[in-house]
Amino acid sequence: MNRRFPPLLAVVLALSGCNSDGGEAVAIAAAPSGVSSPQAENSRRPPSGEVLETMDAAGYTYVRLQTTDGREVWIAGPLTPVQVGATVHYTEEMPMRAFHSKALQRDFDVLYFQGVIQVEGIATAPASPHSAMPMGSSSGVTAGPVEGVEPAEEGLTIAQVYARRDALSGQVVRVRGKVVKFTGDVLGKNWIHIADSSTGEDLTVTLAEAPAVGEVVEVEGVLTLDKDFGYGYVYEILVEDARLVP
């Protein structure tokens, strides 16, 4: 598998500098064992806001919130029924700055991605805190090699890409494969997983085009290793900013 899950939220916040201010941290540390201080209780409560606007696009729900401290924020997560006026709890763990949504044709100064959109008063099934992101290659997407998908002329098989990845890092590679998964318009890109006949591993590719699942495509892009998007999202191998070869 080509993803590593992030540590616990408290550790992420501490390492990223997003933890509570110094005074609050001291107050929490000073509380006797088994006794919660008011500051500690507040620090554990997730922020929330009233829904001012909501829309669905490209498999995601976007929500504009009026927070309890008077700010307006945008969040996005898996498709979720949300009504204007409802209260939604959210996290600011995954901020995407200067985010452009191709599906909505609009820009967001900051968009907070959510693994699940938590509407107050509505039970929500547990979900991966990273299900809103197309992270990870392989991950059970393919059950084995795809029959009949031969390598591109003057190109590489997926098995060759994996075997020679250290030497190919930073170079343009050409690969032919069948699209087995598609995720659109995340981080300003479309994400596909392709598979061929050489191996059971699939290869993750980012590109501007939007090929359909089941389509056999030939792509050309830069091979990148250990791509770190922050907050624990690390790709061991990725073909970035590819183009479809006619």
Half-sphere exposure of 23 (CA within 13 A, CB side): 2
Q: Report phi then psi at 7, rounded to 5.
A: -70, 180
Q: Is the per-residue pLDDT at 6 higher than 50?
A: no
pLDDT level of residue 29 (50, 70, 90 thresholds): very low
- Name which residue leads in pLDDT, 45 or 59: 59
Q: What is the DSSP letter of 152?
A: P
186 contacts 131 by C-beta, under 8 angstroms: no
What pLDDT score was predicted for residue 176?
97
Helix (H) or strand (E) holding 15: helix 9-16
Greater pLDDT, 15 or 167 = 167
What is d(CA 53, CA 106) in angstroms, rounded to the nearest whole number?
14
Q: One fold for both 1-34+134-246 and 47-132?
A: yes
Q: pLDDT at position 230, please?
A: 61
* Residue that is written with structure tokens 């409560």 in the block: 45
Average pLDDT on 141-163 reads 86
Residue 47 DSSP code: P
pTM: 0.52
The overall longest dimension of the chain from CA atoms, in Å, is 69
Instruction: Let me know how many helices (H) and strands (E) the chain has, helices first.
Output: 5, 12
CATH 2.40.50 fits 47-132, yes or no: yes
pLDDT above 50 (res 229):
yes
Q: What is the pLDDT, as a whole number, of residue 114? A: 85
Q: Mind listing the pLDDT tens digit for each residue in 67-99?
A: 999 999 999 988 889 999 999 999 988 888 888
Please choose, from the candidates 49, 137, 61, the residue with its C-alpha nearest in 3D space to the C-alpha of residue 101.
Answer: 61
Structure tokens given for 17? 């500098």
The two tokens of residue 13 are 């916040």
What is the structure's pLDDT at 52? 96
Domain boundaries, the chain: 1-34+134-246, 47-132
- Looking at domain 1-34+134-246, its CATH class is mainly beta
What is the band of 18 on the pLDDT scale with cuts at 50, 70, 90? very low
Are 138 and 188 contacting, i.e. CB atoms less than 8 angstroms apart?
no
- Confidence category of residue 143, pLDDT binned at 50, 70, 90: low
Average pLDDT over residues 132-139: 44
For residue 187, pLDDT over 80 is answered with no
Please give the C-alpha separations between residue 123 and each of 80, 81, 119, 126, 239, in angstroms, as whole numbers. Answer: 12, 12, 8, 9, 38
Phi and psi angles of residue 179, each rounded to the nearest 5 degrees, phi first = -70, 115
pLDDT at 142: 55
- By three-state DSSP, how is residue 113 classified? strand
pLDDT at 46: 79
Between CA 102 and CA 219 the distance in angstroms is 21
The closest alpha carbon to 13, from 92, 80, 128, 89, belongs to: 92
User: What mean pLDDT, rounded, does the chain reach?
Assistant: 77
| Spatial distance between the Cα atoms of 137 and 236, rounded to a whole number of angstroms | 9
The whole-number pLDDT of residue 123 equals 64
On whether the CB atoms of residues 176 and 196 are closer than 8 A, the answer is yes
Share of the chain above pLDDT 70, in %: 71
